[in-house]
Amino acid sequence: MIEAGGPSGTDEVIARQFIITNELGLHLRPAGLLVKTANCYASAITIEKDGVAVDGKSIIQIATLNAARNSTITITASGPDARQAVEALGALIISNFEEPHVNGNRPAEPSA
């Protein structure tokens, strides 16, 4: 996890890596869940895969990442509620986007 305080001391930047473990990857339904959750926070949120960073509040941009099963993504949030945003988005990923586990597929623990 990467953390940095903002210039005002109230904003912070939080980044965490996660592995997409659900069978179908980051398709439109889980992307929609990410966007719905991200839009609950004031912080700017980006999702990065293989050097491509997109707006975490845009379902279309998230879908362009083509994050298949076992892809590693990085979620970065910057703002007054960055920590809470990353924790909430990470919980979705860890819960397998509330999809059933297929073929012994288990949610990944976030890396530090």
**d(Cα 70, Cα 87) in Å, to the nearest integer?**
20
CA-wise closest residue to 56 among 3, 92, 107, 105: 92
**d(Cα 92, Cα 32) in Å, to the nearest integer?**
11
Residues 6+ apart with CB under 8 A from 74: 15, 16, 17, 18, 47, 48, 49
Q: Clarify whether 101 is annotated catalytic.
A: no
Instruction: Check if the beta carbon of residue 89 is closer than 8 Å to that of residue 34.
Output: yes
Catalytic residue among 11, 16, 21, 27: 27
As annotated, the active-site residues are 27
